[in-house]
Amino acid sequence: MSKRRILLDFILEHKVSYIIGLIFMLIACYVQTLFPKVLGRTIDILKVSNFDISRVKLNIIYILIIALGAFLSTYAWRNLIIRNSREFECELRDRLFTHFQKLSPEFYNRRKTGDLIAYAINDISAVRMTLGPATAMSINGIAICAAAIYSMLQSVNLRLTVICLAPIPIIIVVMLQVGKLVQKRFRKVQESFSAISDRVQENIYGIRVIKAYVQEDEELKNFEKLNNNMMDANMDMVRVASMLSPIIEICFSISFVVNLIVGGNMVLKNTISLGDFIAFNTYLTMIMTPIISIGRIINILQRGMASYKRINEIFNTEPDITDGKAMIDKEIKGCIEFKNLNFAYPGSDEQALKDICLTINQGENLGIIGRTGAGKTTLSSLLLKLYNVEDGKIFVDGIDINHYRLDALRNGFGYVPQDNFLFSATVKDNIGAFKKAYSMEQVKKAAEASCIYENIIDLQDGFNTILGERGVNLSGGQKQRIAIARAVIKEPAVLILDDSLSAVDTITEQRILENFKDIRKDKTAIIIAHKISSVQDCDQIIVLDKGRICESGTHNELLKKGGLYYDIYREQWKDRKRCENEAS
Protein backbone atom coordinates (compact mmCIF):
# COMPACT_ATOMS: atom_id res chain seq x y z
CA MET A 1 0.00 0.00 0.00
CA SER A 2 1.39 3.42 -0.92
CA LYS A 3 2.36 5.42 2.14
CA ARG A 4 0.92 8.56 0.55
CA ARG A 5 -2.52 6.98 0.46
CA ILE A 6 -2.82 6.21 4.18
CA LEU A 7 -5.26 9.04 4.88
CA LEU A 8 -7.31 8.43 1.72
CA ASP A 9 -7.45 4.68 2.34
CA PHE A 10 -8.63 5.23 5.91
CA ILE A 11 -11.41 7.58 4.77
CA LEU A 12 -12.54 5.08 2.11
CA GLU A 13 -12.47 2.26 4.66
CA HIS A 14 -14.69 4.26 7.04
CA LYS A 15 -16.75 5.96 4.33
CA VAL A 16 -20.09 4.71 5.71
CA SER A 17 -19.59 6.33 9.11
CA TYR A 18 -18.27 9.50 7.44
CA ILE A 19 -21.31 9.72 5.13
CA ILE A 20 -23.75 9.14 7.99
CA GLY A 21 -21.86 11.68 10.09
CA LEU A 22 -22.03 14.28 7.31
CA ILE A 23 -25.76 13.65 6.89
CA PHE A 24 -26.32 14.29 10.60
CA MET A 25 -24.10 17.36 10.35
CA LEU A 26 -26.22 18.82 7.53
CA ILE A 27 -29.40 18.00 9.47
CA ALA A 28 -27.98 19.81 12.50
CA CYS A 29 -27.14 22.86 10.35
CA TYR A 30 -30.61 22.94 8.80
CA VAL A 31 -32.35 22.55 12.17
CA GLN A 32 -30.29 25.40 13.65
CA THR A 33 -31.34 27.77 10.85
CA LEU A 34 -35.00 27.22 11.78
CA PHE A 35 -34.54 28.90 15.15
CA PRO A 36 -34.16 32.52 13.90
CA LYS A 37 -37.28 32.13 11.71
CA VAL A 38 -39.41 30.91 14.61
CA LEU A 39 -37.93 33.58 16.90
CA GLY A 40 -38.69 36.34 14.37
CA ARG A 41 -42.29 35.16 13.92
CA THR A 42 -42.74 35.06 17.70
CA ILE A 43 -41.48 38.66 17.99
CA ASP A 44 -43.94 39.75 15.28
CA ILE A 45 -46.79 37.99 17.13
CA LEU A 46 -45.88 39.77 20.38
CA LYS A 47 -46.04 43.18 18.59
CA VAL A 48 -49.79 42.72 18.08
CA SER A 49 -51.78 44.22 20.93
CA ASN A 50 -54.22 41.30 21.19
CA PHE A 51 -51.87 38.46 20.30
CA ASP A 52 -52.89 34.83 20.41
CA ILE A 53 -51.13 33.24 23.40
CA SER A 54 -51.66 29.77 21.92
CA ARG A 55 -49.52 30.70 18.89
CA VAL A 56 -46.73 31.93 21.19
CA LYS A 57 -46.87 28.66 23.17
CA LEU A 58 -46.77 26.69 19.92
CA ASN A 59 -43.67 28.60 18.80
CA ILE A 60 -42.02 27.93 22.16
CA ILE A 61 -42.67 24.20 21.63
CA TYR A 62 -41.14 24.54 18.14
CA ILE A 63 -38.04 26.19 19.64
CA LEU A 64 -37.67 23.35 22.19
CA ILE A 65 -38.05 20.74 19.42
CA ILE A 66 -35.44 22.60 17.34
CA ALA A 67 -33.04 22.63 20.33
CA LEU A 68 -33.58 18.90 20.92
CA GLY A 69 -33.11 18.09 17.21
CA ALA A 70 -29.91 20.17 17.05
CA PHE A 71 -28.60 18.42 20.17
CA LEU A 72 -29.29 14.88 18.91
CA SER A 73 -27.94 15.43 15.39
CA THR A 74 -24.84 17.27 16.66
CA TYR A 75 -24.20 14.51 19.20
CA ALA A 76 -24.49 11.90 16.43
CA TRP A 77 -22.10 13.52 13.95
CA ARG A 78 -19.52 14.35 16.62
CA ASN A 79 -19.48 10.74 17.83
CA LEU A 80 -19.09 9.38 14.33
CA ILE A 81 -16.49 11.78 12.92
CA ILE A 82 -14.44 12.56 16.03
CA ARG A 83 -14.29 8.84 16.90
CA ASN A 84 -12.89 8.14 13.42
CA SER A 85 -10.10 10.65 14.02
CA ARG A 86 -9.12 8.81 17.22
CA GLU A 87 -9.08 5.51 15.33
CA PHE A 88 -6.94 7.09 12.62
CA GLU A 89 -4.53 8.38 15.27
CA CYS A 90 -4.21 4.86 16.70
CA GLU A 91 -3.78 3.29 13.27
CA LEU A 92 -1.28 5.90 12.11
CA ARG A 93 0.82 5.46 15.26
CA ASP A 94 0.77 1.66 14.76
CA ARG A 95 1.85 2.05 11.13
CA LEU A 96 4.59 4.50 12.07
CA PHE A 97 5.94 2.19 14.77
CA THR A 98 5.79 -0.78 12.36
CA HIS A 99 7.65 1.29 9.77
CA PHE A 100 10.27 2.21 12.38
CA GLN A 101 10.82 -1.53 12.95
CA LYS A 102 11.45 -2.09 9.23
CA LEU A 103 13.91 0.74 8.70
CA SER A 104 17.58 -0.13 8.50
CA PRO A 105 20.28 0.77 11.06
CA GLU A 106 21.65 3.37 8.65
CA PHE A 107 18.41 5.37 9.02
CA TYR A 108 18.83 5.54 12.81
CA ASN A 109 22.45 6.58 12.38
CA ARG A 110 21.19 9.70 10.60
CA ARG A 111 18.20 10.57 12.82
CA LYS A 112 18.03 11.64 16.44
CA THR A 113 15.85 9.77 18.90
CA GLY A 114 14.12 12.92 20.14
CA ASP A 115 13.09 13.78 16.59
CA LEU A 116 11.56 10.33 16.07
CA ILE A 117 9.70 10.60 19.39
CA ALA A 118 8.23 13.92 18.22
CA TYR A 119 6.87 12.19 15.11
CA ALA A 120 5.13 9.51 17.20
CA ILE A 121 3.60 11.95 19.71
CA ASN A 122 3.26 15.59 18.65
CA ASP A 123 2.97 15.17 14.89
CA ILE A 124 0.43 12.36 15.04
CA SER A 125 -1.66 14.32 17.57
CA ALA A 126 -1.61 17.32 15.25
CA VAL A 127 -2.78 15.14 12.34
CA ARG A 128 -5.57 13.70 14.51
CA MET A 129 -6.74 17.21 15.46
CA THR A 130 -6.80 18.13 11.79
CA LEU A 131 -8.70 15.07 10.60
CA GLY A 132 -11.14 15.15 13.54
CA PRO A 133 -12.20 18.37 15.28
CA ALA A 134 -10.67 20.83 12.80
CA THR A 135 -12.06 19.28 9.61
CA ALA A 136 -15.44 18.50 11.16
CA MET A 137 -15.85 21.97 12.62
CA SER A 138 -14.75 23.55 9.34
CA ILE A 139 -17.33 21.62 7.31
CA ASN A 140 -19.95 22.29 9.96
CA GLY A 141 -19.11 25.99 9.99
CA ILE A 142 -19.26 26.26 6.20
CA ALA A 143 -22.60 24.42 6.14
CA ILE A 144 -24.07 26.68 8.85
CA CYS A 145 -22.84 29.80 7.03
CA ALA A 146 -24.28 28.60 3.73
CA ALA A 147 -27.63 27.69 5.31
CA ALA A 148 -27.79 30.97 7.24
CA ILE A 149 -26.95 33.10 4.18
CA TYR A 150 -29.54 31.24 2.11
CA SER A 151 -32.17 31.84 4.81
CA MET A 152 -31.18 35.53 5.00
CA LEU A 153 -31.62 35.91 1.26
CA GLN A 154 -34.92 34.02 1.16
CA SER A 155 -36.72 35.28 4.22
CA VAL A 156 -35.26 38.72 5.04
CA ASN A 157 -33.76 41.07 2.44
CA LEU A 158 -31.30 40.66 -0.44
CA ARG A 159 -29.84 44.20 -0.26
CA LEU A 160 -29.28 44.07 3.49
CA THR A 161 -27.64 40.63 3.21
CA VAL A 162 -25.16 41.72 0.51
CA ILE A 163 -24.19 44.90 2.38
CA CYS A 164 -23.64 43.16 5.73
CA LEU A 165 -21.67 40.23 4.30
CA ALA A 166 -19.34 42.39 2.18
CA PRO A 167 -16.37 42.00 4.64
CA ILE A 168 -16.39 38.17 4.36
CA PRO A 169 -14.10 37.99 1.25
CA ILE A 170 -11.54 40.03 3.20
CA ILE A 171 -11.75 37.50 6.04
CA ILE A 172 -11.20 34.58 3.65
CA VAL A 173 -8.09 36.17 2.07
CA VAL A 174 -6.61 36.94 5.51
CA MET A 175 -7.27 33.39 6.75
CA LEU A 176 -5.52 31.84 3.75
CA GLN A 177 -2.45 34.07 4.07
CA VAL A 178 -2.14 33.65 7.84
CA GLY A 179 -2.65 29.90 7.48
CA LYS A 180 0.40 29.58 5.23
CA LEU A 181 2.56 31.44 7.75
CA VAL A 182 1.26 29.27 10.60
CA GLN A 183 2.21 26.09 8.72
CA LYS A 184 5.79 27.28 8.20
CA ARG A 185 6.23 28.41 11.79
CA PHE A 186 4.64 25.29 13.28
CA ARG A 187 7.28 23.20 11.49
CA LYS A 188 9.93 25.16 13.39
CA VAL A 189 8.03 24.51 16.63
CA GLN A 190 8.13 20.76 15.96
CA GLU A 191 11.83 20.90 15.17
CA SER A 192 12.45 22.73 18.45
CA PHE A 193 10.41 20.13 20.32
CA SER A 194 12.51 17.38 18.71
CA ALA A 195 15.73 19.07 19.83
CA ILE A 196 14.47 19.37 23.43
CA SER A 197 13.28 15.74 23.49
CA ASP A 198 16.66 14.60 22.25
CA ARG A 199 18.55 16.68 24.83
CA VAL A 200 16.38 15.43 27.72
CA GLN A 201 16.82 11.81 26.63
CA GLU A 202 20.60 12.14 26.33
CA ASN A 203 20.84 13.75 29.77
CA ILE A 204 18.73 11.03 31.40
CA TYR A 205 20.77 8.24 29.78
CA GLY A 206 24.07 9.97 30.51
CA ILE A 207 23.29 11.31 33.98
CA ARG A 208 26.16 9.35 35.59
CA VAL A 209 28.68 10.80 33.15
CA ILE A 210 27.28 14.30 33.65
CA LYS A 211 27.58 14.00 37.43
CA ALA A 212 31.01 12.39 37.26
CA TYR A 213 32.36 15.28 35.17
CA VAL A 214 30.39 17.96 37.09
CA GLN A 215 28.61 19.14 33.93
CA GLU A 216 25.21 19.88 35.52
CA ASP A 217 25.50 23.67 35.10
CA GLU A 218 26.79 23.39 31.54
CA GLU A 219 23.97 21.02 30.56
CA LEU A 220 21.46 23.37 32.20
CA LYS A 221 22.75 26.23 30.06
CA ASN A 222 22.45 24.10 26.92
CA PHE A 223 18.90 23.10 27.86
CA GLU A 224 17.90 26.70 28.63
CA LYS A 225 19.12 27.70 25.19
CA LEU A 226 16.99 25.00 23.52
CA ASN A 227 14.04 25.86 25.75
CA ASN A 228 14.29 29.54 24.81
CA ASN A 229 14.50 28.59 21.12
CA MET A 230 11.29 26.59 21.48
CA MET A 231 9.60 29.48 23.29
CA ASP A 232 10.69 31.88 20.53
CA ALA A 233 9.39 29.49 17.86
CA ASN A 234 6.04 29.22 19.66
CA MET A 235 5.83 32.98 20.13
CA ASP A 236 6.52 33.55 16.42
CA MET A 237 3.65 31.21 15.59
CA VAL A 238 1.35 32.77 18.21
CA ARG A 239 2.03 36.28 16.89
CA VAL A 240 0.79 35.25 13.46
CA ALA A 241 -2.08 33.07 14.66
CA SER A 242 -3.32 35.75 17.05
CA MET A 243 -4.07 38.07 14.13
CA LEU A 244 -6.99 35.99 12.88
CA SER A 245 -9.62 36.38 15.58
CA PRO A 246 -9.26 40.20 16.00
CA ILE A 247 -9.44 40.76 12.21
CA ILE A 248 -12.54 38.56 11.94
CA GLU A 249 -14.19 40.30 14.91
CA ILE A 250 -13.44 43.75 13.46
CA CYS A 251 -14.97 42.76 10.12
CA PHE A 252 -18.11 41.43 11.81
CA SER A 253 -18.32 44.49 14.06
CA ILE A 254 -18.51 46.53 10.86
CA SER A 255 -21.23 44.18 9.61
CA PHE A 256 -23.27 44.64 12.80
CA VAL A 257 -22.89 48.42 12.68
CA VAL A 258 -24.03 48.46 9.04
CA ASN A 259 -26.91 46.15 9.97
CA LEU A 260 -28.02 48.45 12.80
CA ILE A 261 -27.95 51.52 10.53
CA VAL A 262 -29.39 50.03 7.33
CA GLY A 263 -31.64 47.42 8.96
CA GLY A 264 -32.91 49.89 11.59
CA ASN A 265 -33.98 52.32 8.88
CA MET A 266 -35.74 49.48 7.02
CA VAL A 267 -37.71 48.64 10.17
CA LEU A 268 -38.68 52.29 10.63
CA LYS A 269 -39.80 52.46 6.99
CA ASN A 270 -41.66 49.13 7.39
CA THR A 271 -39.56 47.60 4.59
CA ILE A 272 -38.90 44.67 6.91
CA SER A 273 -40.61 43.71 10.17
CA LEU A 274 -38.99 43.88 13.61
CA GLY A 275 -39.10 40.08 13.71
CA ASP A 276 -37.23 39.89 10.39
CA PHE A 277 -34.63 42.35 11.75
CA ILE A 278 -34.07 40.22 14.88
CA ALA A 279 -33.97 37.06 12.77
CA PHE A 280 -31.39 38.72 10.51
CA ASN A 281 -29.21 39.62 13.54
CA THR A 282 -29.51 36.06 14.78
CA TYR A 283 -28.44 34.73 11.37
CA LEU A 284 -25.50 37.15 11.38
CA THR A 285 -24.46 35.88 14.82
CA MET A 286 -24.76 32.31 13.55
CA ILE A 287 -22.39 33.17 10.69
CA MET A 288 -19.92 35.02 12.91
CA THR A 289 -19.48 32.21 15.45
CA PRO A 290 -18.30 29.47 13.04
CA ILE A 291 -16.15 31.90 11.03
CA ILE A 292 -14.33 32.93 14.21
CA SER A 293 -13.97 29.22 14.99
CA ILE A 294 -12.75 28.57 11.46
CA GLY A 295 -10.12 31.24 12.07
CA ARG A 296 -8.79 29.21 14.97
CA ILE A 297 -9.29 25.94 13.11
CA ILE A 298 -7.16 27.20 10.21
CA ASN A 299 -4.24 27.19 12.67
CA ILE A 300 -4.95 23.55 13.56
CA LEU A 301 -5.35 22.60 9.90
CA GLN A 302 -2.04 24.17 8.94
CA ARG A 303 -0.28 22.54 11.89
CA GLY A 304 -1.73 19.18 10.89
CA MET A 305 -0.66 19.65 7.27
CA ALA A 306 2.88 20.48 8.40
CA SER A 307 2.93 17.42 10.65
CA TYR A 308 1.48 15.17 7.95
CA LYS A 309 4.23 16.27 5.57
CA ARG A 310 6.83 15.45 8.24
CA ILE A 311 5.30 12.02 8.87
CA ASN A 312 5.12 11.33 5.13
CA GLU A 313 8.85 11.96 4.93
CA ILE A 314 9.32 9.00 7.27
CA PHE A 315 6.77 6.80 5.51
CA ASN A 316 8.39 7.56 2.15
CA THR A 317 11.76 6.43 3.49
CA GLU A 318 12.09 2.89 2.22
CA PRO A 319 14.10 0.35 4.24
CA ASP A 320 17.51 -0.37 2.74
CA ILE A 321 17.31 -3.99 3.87
CA THR A 322 14.48 -6.05 2.40
CA ASP A 323 13.45 -9.69 2.02
CA GLY A 324 15.54 -11.82 -0.31
CA LYS A 325 14.73 -12.26 -3.98
CA ALA A 326 13.80 -15.94 -3.68
CA MET A 327 11.90 -15.40 -0.37
CA ILE A 328 13.40 -18.59 1.07
CA ASP A 329 12.09 -19.31 4.57
CA LYS A 330 13.65 -22.71 5.30
CA GLU A 331 15.06 -23.40 8.76
CA ILE A 332 18.75 -22.61 9.07
CA LYS A 333 21.14 -25.39 10.13
CA GLY A 334 24.32 -23.37 10.66
CA CYS A 335 26.77 -23.82 7.78
CA ILE A 336 28.23 -20.42 6.75
CA GLU A 337 30.59 -19.44 3.96
CA PHE A 338 32.20 -16.13 2.98
CA LYS A 339 33.58 -15.83 -0.55
CA ASN A 340 35.91 -12.93 -1.35
CA LEU A 341 33.76 -10.55 0.70
CA ASN A 342 34.51 -6.82 0.53
CA PHE A 343 32.36 -4.34 2.42
CA ALA A 344 32.28 -0.59 3.02
CA TYR A 345 29.69 1.16 5.18
CA PRO A 346 27.17 3.36 3.31
CA GLY A 347 28.65 6.79 2.68
CA SER A 348 32.20 5.62 3.31
CA ASP A 349 34.92 5.01 0.72
CA GLU A 350 37.08 2.99 3.09
CA GLN A 351 36.46 -0.76 3.14
CA ALA A 352 35.73 -2.20 6.57
CA LEU A 353 36.23 -5.78 5.35
CA LYS A 354 38.57 -6.88 2.57
CA ASP A 355 38.73 -10.18 0.70
CA ILE A 356 37.17 -12.28 3.47
CA CYS A 357 37.21 -16.01 2.63
CA LEU A 358 35.95 -18.25 5.41
CA THR A 359 33.96 -21.44 5.93
CA ILE A 360 32.20 -22.33 9.20
CA ASN A 361 30.83 -25.87 9.28
CA GLN A 362 27.66 -26.79 11.12
CA GLY A 363 28.35 -27.43 14.81
CA GLU A 364 31.72 -25.67 14.68
CA ASN A 365 32.81 -22.99 17.14
CA LEU A 366 34.57 -20.04 15.48
CA GLY A 367 36.57 -17.51 17.47
CA ILE A 368 37.20 -14.04 16.03
CA ILE A 369 39.82 -11.85 17.64
CA GLY A 370 41.61 -8.67 16.68
CA ARG A 371 42.34 -5.14 17.71
CA THR A 372 39.61 -2.48 18.03
CA GLY A 373 38.25 -1.44 14.63
CA ALA A 374 39.51 -4.57 12.87
CA GLY A 375 36.00 -5.41 11.52
CA LYS A 376 34.85 -8.09 13.98
CA THR A 377 31.40 -6.60 14.68
CA THR A 378 30.97 -5.72 11.00
CA LEU A 379 31.25 -9.41 10.13
CA SER A 380 28.46 -10.35 12.54
CA SER A 381 26.27 -7.46 11.32
CA LEU A 382 26.50 -8.75 7.75
CA LEU A 383 25.49 -12.25 8.86
CA LEU A 384 22.33 -10.76 10.38
CA LYS A 385 21.87 -8.74 7.18
CA LEU A 386 21.83 -5.42 8.98
CA TYR A 387 23.60 -4.08 5.89
CA ASN A 388 23.37 -5.12 2.24
CA VAL A 389 26.11 -7.17 0.58
CA GLU A 390 26.63 -8.17 -3.01
CA ASP A 391 25.20 -11.43 -4.31
CA GLY A 392 27.48 -14.45 -4.14
CA LYS A 393 29.51 -13.24 -1.15
CA ILE A 394 27.82 -14.82 1.90
CA PHE A 395 26.12 -18.22 1.89
CA VAL A 396 24.07 -19.78 4.69
CA ASP A 397 23.55 -23.53 4.29
CA GLY A 398 24.71 -23.18 0.69
CA ILE A 399 22.08 -20.51 -0.16
CA ASP A 400 22.96 -16.89 -0.93
CA ILE A 401 22.06 -14.73 2.07
CA ASN A 402 20.24 -12.35 -0.30
CA HIS A 403 17.72 -15.06 -1.16
CA TYR A 404 16.35 -15.50 2.37
CA ARG A 405 13.35 -13.85 3.93
CA LEU A 406 14.66 -11.52 6.64
CA ASP A 407 12.63 -13.08 9.46
CA ALA A 408 13.63 -16.62 8.43
CA LEU A 409 17.30 -15.65 8.32
CA ARG A 410 17.36 -13.80 11.62
CA ASN A 411 15.28 -16.45 13.40
CA GLY A 412 18.18 -18.82 12.80
CA PHE A 413 20.60 -16.57 14.72
CA GLY A 414 20.93 -15.72 18.38
CA TYR A 415 22.84 -12.47 18.78
CA VAL A 416 24.31 -10.85 21.88
CA PRO A 417 25.70 -7.41 20.93
CA GLN A 418 28.44 -5.43 22.64
CA ASP A 419 25.94 -2.88 23.92
CA ASN A 420 23.58 -5.05 25.94
CA PHE A 421 20.11 -3.54 25.96
CA LEU A 422 17.66 -4.53 28.68
CA PHE A 423 14.05 -3.41 28.84
CA SER A 424 12.40 -1.80 31.84
CA ALA A 425 10.48 -4.99 32.57
CA THR A 426 10.84 -8.13 34.68
CA VAL A 427 13.93 -10.32 34.47
CA LYS A 428 11.71 -13.11 33.13
CA ASP A 429 10.39 -10.90 30.29
CA ASN A 430 13.91 -9.77 29.42
CA ILE A 431 15.15 -13.34 29.14
CA GLY A 432 12.06 -14.55 27.30
CA ALA A 433 11.97 -11.45 25.06
CA PHE A 434 8.28 -10.99 26.06
CA LYS A 435 7.34 -14.26 24.33
CA LYS A 436 4.70 -16.22 26.24
CA ALA A 437 5.75 -19.40 24.42
CA TYR A 438 8.67 -19.86 26.82
CA SER A 439 7.87 -21.68 30.07
CA MET A 440 9.34 -20.71 33.42
CA GLU A 441 11.44 -23.87 33.28
CA GLN A 442 13.01 -22.77 29.99
CA VAL A 443 13.73 -19.33 31.42
CA LYS A 444 15.48 -20.87 34.44
CA LYS A 445 17.55 -23.23 32.28
CA ALA A 446 18.71 -20.33 30.10
CA ALA A 447 19.62 -18.38 33.24
CA GLU A 448 21.59 -21.35 34.59
CA ALA A 449 23.42 -21.81 31.29
CA SER A 450 24.51 -18.16 31.32
CA CYS A 451 25.49 -18.34 35.02
CA ILE A 452 23.07 -15.60 36.11
CA TYR A 453 20.58 -17.82 37.96
CA GLU A 454 22.13 -17.31 41.43
CA ASN A 455 22.21 -13.54 40.99
CA ILE A 456 18.55 -13.47 39.93
CA ILE A 457 17.46 -15.55 42.94
CA ASP A 458 19.21 -13.04 45.21
CA LEU A 459 17.12 -10.18 43.79
CA GLN A 460 14.14 -9.00 45.86
CA ASP A 461 11.48 -10.57 43.62
CA GLY A 462 13.65 -13.06 41.79
CA PHE A 463 12.63 -13.50 38.15
CA ASN A 464 9.74 -11.06 38.69
CA THR A 465 12.07 -8.22 39.66
CA ILE A 466 11.44 -5.12 37.56
CA LEU A 467 14.67 -3.84 36.05
CA GLY A 468 15.41 -0.15 35.80
CA GLU A 469 15.68 1.56 32.43
CA ARG A 470 18.35 -0.22 30.34
CA GLY A 471 19.02 -2.48 33.37
CA VAL A 472 20.46 0.39 35.38
CA ASN A 473 20.12 -1.49 38.69
CA LEU A 474 22.38 -4.34 37.49
CA SER A 475 26.15 -4.56 37.07
CA GLY A 476 27.71 -4.74 33.63
CA GLY A 477 28.44 -8.46 34.00
CA GLN A 478 24.87 -9.21 35.12
CA LYS A 479 23.43 -7.33 32.14
CA GLN A 480 25.69 -9.27 29.78
CA ARG A 481 24.64 -12.62 31.22
CA ILE A 482 20.91 -11.79 31.04
CA ALA A 483 21.44 -10.79 27.40
CA ILE A 484 23.22 -14.13 26.81
CA ALA A 485 20.31 -15.97 28.45
CA ARG A 486 17.93 -14.17 26.06
CA ALA A 487 19.89 -15.56 23.10
CA VAL A 488 20.30 -19.07 24.60
CA ILE A 489 16.59 -19.60 25.32
CA LYS A 490 15.93 -19.17 21.62
CA GLU A 491 18.06 -22.26 20.86
CA PRO A 492 19.31 -20.75 17.58
CA ALA A 493 21.21 -22.68 14.94
CA VAL A 494 23.96 -20.03 15.12
CA LEU A 495 24.85 -18.18 18.34
CA ILE A 496 26.88 -14.97 17.97
CA LEU A 497 28.55 -13.50 21.08
CA ASP A 498 29.94 -10.10 20.13
CA ASP A 499 32.40 -9.35 22.94
CA SER A 500 29.62 -10.42 25.31
CA LEU A 501 31.92 -11.85 28.00
CA SER A 502 34.08 -8.77 28.48
CA ALA A 503 32.45 -7.75 31.79
CA VAL A 504 32.54 -11.17 33.49
CA ASP A 505 35.46 -12.67 35.38
CA THR A 506 37.57 -15.45 33.90
CA ILE A 507 36.07 -18.19 36.09
CA THR A 508 32.47 -17.27 35.18
CA GLU A 509 33.50 -16.96 31.55
CA GLN A 510 34.86 -20.50 31.52
CA ARG A 511 31.75 -21.83 33.25
CA ILE A 512 29.50 -20.24 30.58
CA LEU A 513 31.61 -21.62 27.74
CA GLU A 514 31.59 -25.09 29.33
CA ASN A 515 27.79 -24.92 29.64
CA PHE A 516 27.56 -24.08 25.95
CA LYS A 517 29.46 -27.24 25.07
CA ASP A 518 26.76 -29.28 26.80
CA ILE A 519 23.60 -27.47 25.65
CA ARG A 520 24.76 -26.53 22.13
CA LYS A 521 26.10 -29.75 20.71
CA ASP A 522 26.04 -29.85 16.89
CA LYS A 523 25.15 -26.14 16.78
CA THR A 524 27.33 -23.37 15.41
CA ALA A 525 28.77 -20.61 17.59
CA ILE A 526 30.71 -17.47 16.67
CA ILE A 527 32.55 -15.87 19.59
CA ILE A 528 33.92 -12.38 18.97
CA ALA A 529 36.26 -11.22 21.72
CA HIS A 530 39.27 -9.19 22.73
CA LYS A 531 40.32 -11.72 25.38
CA ILE A 532 42.24 -14.81 24.31
CA SER A 533 40.54 -16.78 27.10
CA SER A 534 37.15 -16.39 25.37
CA VAL A 535 38.24 -18.02 22.11
CA GLN A 536 41.15 -20.34 22.93
CA ASP A 537 38.98 -23.49 23.02
CA CYS A 538 37.23 -22.77 19.69
CA ASP A 539 37.57 -25.24 16.80
CA GLN A 540 38.83 -22.46 14.55
CA ILE A 541 40.12 -18.95 15.31
CA ILE A 542 40.61 -16.12 12.83
CA VAL A 543 42.54 -12.94 13.54
CA LEU A 544 41.30 -9.78 11.86
CA ASP A 545 43.55 -6.81 11.20
CA LYS A 546 42.42 -3.74 9.27
CA GLY A 547 39.51 -5.66 7.78
CA ARG A 548 41.54 -8.67 6.57
CA ILE A 549 41.99 -12.18 7.93
CA CYS A 550 45.69 -12.13 8.71
CA GLU A 551 45.85 -15.44 10.59
CA SER A 552 43.68 -18.51 11.14
CA GLY A 553 43.99 -21.82 12.97
CA THR A 554 43.60 -23.30 16.43
CA HIS A 555 44.93 -21.69 19.60
CA ASN A 556 48.15 -23.71 19.62
CA GLU A 557 48.71 -23.30 15.88
CA LEU A 558 48.40 -19.52 16.13
CA LEU A 559 50.78 -19.34 19.09
CA LYS A 560 53.38 -21.27 17.11
CA LYS A 561 53.11 -18.81 14.20
CA GLY A 562 54.27 -15.98 16.47
CA GLY A 563 52.14 -13.41 14.67
CA LEU A 564 49.49 -10.94 15.82
CA TYR A 565 47.59 -13.56 17.85
CA TYR A 566 50.80 -14.38 19.73
CA ASP A 567 51.42 -10.68 20.39
CA ILE A 568 47.92 -10.24 21.82
CA TYR A 569 48.36 -13.40 23.92
CA ARG A 570 51.71 -12.19 25.27
CA GLU A 571 50.33 -8.76 26.20
CA GLN A 572 47.35 -10.28 28.02
CA TRP A 573 49.59 -12.85 29.73
CA LYS A 574 51.90 -10.05 30.94
CA ASP A 575 48.91 -8.18 32.38
CA ARG A 576 47.70 -11.35 34.07
CA LYS A 577 51.16 -12.11 35.54
CA ARG A 578 51.49 -8.51 36.69
CA CYS A 579 48.15 -8.74 38.53
CA GLU A 580 49.15 -12.04 40.13
CA ASN A 581 52.47 -10.56 41.28
CA GLU A 582 50.78 -7.48 42.72
CA ALA A 583 48.23 -9.68 44.50
CA SER A 584 50.97 -11.84 46.02
- 143-169 b/e with 16+ CB inside 10 Å = b? bbbebbbebbeebbbeebbeebbebbe
3-184+243-315 and 420-491 agree in CATH topology = no
Judge whether residue 466 has pLDDT over 80: yes
What are the residue ranges spanned by the domains of the chain?
Answer: 3-184+243-315, 321-412+492-584, 420-491
* Strands 548-553 vs 399-400: parallel, antiparallel or unpaired: unpaired
* SS3 sequence of 333-358: CCCEEEEEEEECCCCCCCCCEEEEEE
Which residues sit opposite 541 in a β-bridge? 367, 553
> Whose CA is closest to 369, among 571, 542, 513?
542
Q: Are 291 and 149 in contact (CB under 8 A)?
A: no
Tell me: domain 420-491, CATH 3.40.50.300, correct?
Answer: yes
Q: Are 365 and 342 in contact (CB under 8 A)?
A: no
Between the CA of residue 550 and those of 353, 496, 500, 554, what are the distances in Å? 12, 21, 23, 14
Task: Supply the pLDDT for residue 582.
Answer: 47
Helix, strand, or coil (residue 74): helix
Q: pLDDT band for position 48 (50/70/90)?
A: low
Judge whether residue 3 has pLDDT over 60: no
Judge whether residue 294 has pLDDT over 50: yes
CA distance 563 to 584: 31
* SS3 sequence of 176-215: HHHHHHHHHHHHHHHHHHHHHHHHHHHHHHCHHHHHHCCC
Q: pLDDT band for position 393 (50/70/90)?
A: very high
Mean pLDDT for all residues in the chain: 83
Count Cβ atoms below 10 Å from residue 243 Cβ, excluding itself. Answer: 17
- Phi then psi dihedrals of residue 28, to 5 deg: -60, -40
Classify domain 321-412+492-584 at the CATH class level: alpha beta
Q: pLDDT band for position 1 (50/70/90)?
A: very low
Q: Are 427 and 465 in contact (CB under 8 A)?
A: yes
CA distance 523 to 491: 9
- Enter the CATH code of domain 3-184+243-315: 1.20.1560.10
CA distance 127 to 134: 10
Per-residue pLDDT reduced to its tens digit, 202-213: 787 677 678 777
Ordered DSSP codes for 373-423: TSSHHHHHHHHTTSS---TTSEEETTEEGGGB-HHHHHHTEEEE-SS----
Q: pLDDT band for position 200 (50/70/90)?
A: confident
Between the CA of residue 169 and those of 29, 174, 179, 258, 362, what are the distances in Å? 22, 9, 15, 16, 78
